[in-house]
């Protein structure tokens, strides 16, 4: 038999303090997101150096090398996009609302972001990044062993299968949530 006994004032105060500590601990993630912003600044610097290298050697570089450098630049942009998804989506989901409603630059996906959607978006971004690496590998195939190319293909396919599994699990979870 259950009783509907109300907690005493001291029990409520202890519970409230613990709740506030637990809920407030989410702010410990803030330095992590700030660190990711610094990591993105490093990628911006790296992008600038690679772009400058490409511009400097435009007249002397082979087409295959131009393609590899451009793919490297695309890779940096995709990793930067991944960082933005993690920084903005993670902060919005786990730390605090950004209060961007109505802002003209608010990303469309941010209005319905949750942990599961963030996982699916991250998995697809990782596949894109892996695809760029695999393309670079195949363009540079003459300089690589078959073992390296097979290993990178297997790794890429593992990412693809993992993303499919994550998306499928998310679909199952969202389908079961709509029934409740």
Record the tokens describing residue 48, joined without a space.
Answer: 């600038």
What's the whole-number average pLDDT of the chain?
Answer: 85
Q: State whether 71 and 152 are in the same domain.
A: no
Provide the number of structural domains found in the chain.
2
Q: State whether 52 and 107 are in the same domain.
A: yes
Residue 11 lies in a domain: no
Residue 119 lies in a domain: yes
pLDDT at 101: 77
How many angstroms separate the CA atoms of 32 and 13, rounded?
31
pLDDT at 46: 93
Q: State whether 133 and 162 are in the same domain.
A: yes
- Give the residue among 36, 30, 19, 177 at the shortest CA–CA distance from 94: 30
Q: State whether 31 and 96 are in the same domain.
A: yes
pLDDT-derived band of residue 3, with 50, 70 and 90 as boundaries? low
How many angstroms separate the CA atoms of 17 and 29, rounded?
20
Q: State whether 68 and 55 are in the same domain.
A: yes
Record the tokens describing residue 104, joined without a space.
Answer: 């003209």
Residue 1 lies in a domain: no
Residue with tokens 């393609």: 67
Given 65, 86, 113, the domain boundary residue is 113
Q: State whether 132 and 172 are in the same domain.
A: yes
Q: State whether 164 and 98 are in the same domain.
A: no
Residue 12 lies in a domain: no
Q: State whether 100 and 121 are in the same domain.
A: no
pLDDT in tens, 37-94: 999 999 999 999 999 999 999 999 988 889 889 998 998 998 898 898 889 888 888 8
How many angstroms separate the CA atoms of 51 and 66, rounded?
10
pLDDT at 154: 95
How many angstroms separate the CA atoms of 74 and 3, rounded?
63
Q: State whether 40 and 104 are in the same domain.
A: yes
pLDDT-derived band of residue 176, with 50, 70 and 90 as boundaries? low
How many angstroms separate the CA atoms of 91 and 97, rounded?
8
Better-predicted residue by pLDDT, 127 or 102: 127
Cβ neighbours of residue 131 closer than 8 Å, sequence gap 6 or more: 156
Residue 38 lies in a domain: yes
Please answer whether residues 88 and 128 qualify as being in contact, where contact means their C-beta atoms are separated by less than 8 angstroms: no
* Region of residue 99 (left: phi > 0; alpha: psi -120 to 50; beta: else): left
Given 78, 96, 113, the domain boundary residue is 113
Which residue range forms the structural domain that includes residue 75? Answer: 24-113
Record the tokens describing residue 49, joined without a space.
Answer: 């150096």
Given 71, 95, 113, the domain boundary residue is 113
């Amino acid at each position: 038999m259950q009783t509907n006994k109300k907690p005493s004032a001291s029990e409520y105060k202890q519970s409230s303090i613990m709740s506030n500590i637990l809920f407030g601990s989410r702010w410990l993630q803030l330095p992590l997101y700030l660190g990711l912003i610094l990591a993105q600044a490093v990628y911006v610097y790296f992008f600038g150096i690679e772009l400058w290298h490409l511009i400097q050697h435009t007249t002397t570089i082979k087409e295959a090398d131009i393609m590899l450098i451009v793919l490297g630049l695309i890779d940096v942009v995709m990793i930067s996009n991944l960082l933005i998804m993690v920084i903005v989506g993670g902060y919005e989901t786990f730390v605090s609302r950004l209060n961007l409603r109505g802002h003209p630059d608010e990303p469309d996906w941010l209005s319905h972001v949750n942990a599961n959607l963030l996982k699916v978006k991250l998995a697809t971004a990782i596949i894109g990044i892996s695809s760029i690496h695999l393309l670079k590998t195949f363009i540079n195939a003459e300089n690589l062993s078959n073992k390296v190319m097979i290993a990178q293909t297997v790794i890429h396919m593992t990412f693809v299968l993992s993303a499919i599994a994550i998306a499928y699990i998310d679909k199952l979870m969202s389908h079961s949530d709509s029934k409740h």
